[in-house]
Amino acid sequence: MNKSPFNESNFEEVFKTYFGPLCNYVNSYIKDWESSREIVQGTFMKVWENRDTININTSAKSYLYSAVRNRMIDMIRSNKKLDEYKNAANVDEIEENLDHMNSFVVREEILRSMDKLKPKMRKIFSLSKVEGLTYNEIAAYLNISKRAVEDNVAKALKLLKEDLEGNELLFSN
């Protein structure tokens, strides 16, 4: 059982070290500085409140990025503002297959790969895999056929797989 690295003697240092980078991380997805700061501040508050019971099996940095990511996804799901939060990444399926990888690196590489998709395909893929909308919901939202949604998601998955297959950051031994 690993002890929490968050205690009274080092919490301020951890906060000062990671607050800015975590805000940048969140803002890179939601493009809203105020909301980014609120997410990170809320995460730090929750960490502080639970510092005596937190059991961390990774580094403090990895724990904080994961906690901020989860809080960001919760906020996105609760707000349902598709246009405002268009680039949030949900890589749960890939993380399950790559348990040994640092999930932050995996997410960054997937986002980099998604940037190569055509804008419409990227939006359809994001609505399906990030926001969790059904094909019918996406078709209605974008005023396209369900078949077009299916084709775009399938093609995006194929292109992402091809792009990520040779990625040395993901598949180095």
Query: Tokens 């730090």 sit at which residue?
Result: 44
**What are the pLDDT digits (tens) for 144-153?**
999 999 999 9
Q: Does the pLDDT of residue 20 top 60, yes or no?
A: yes
**What are the pLDDT digits (tens) for 47-73?**
888 888 877 777 888 888 888 988 888
Q: Write the DSSP assignment of 16-76 as a string of letters.
A: HHHHHHHHHHHHHHH--HHHHHHHHHHHHHHHHHTTTT---SS-HHHHHHHHHHHHHHHHH
CB 26 within 8 A of CB 40: yes
Domains (range + CATH), the chain: 1-87 (1.10.1740.10), 89-168 (1.10.10.10)
**What are the pLDDT digits (tens) for 93-120?**
444 444 444 556 667 777 778 888 999 9
Closest to 68 measured CA to CA, from 28, 36, 110:
36
Four-point Cα dihedral 29, 32, 36, 38, nearest 10? -150
Give pTM, 2 decimals. 0.45
pLDDT, position 100: 40
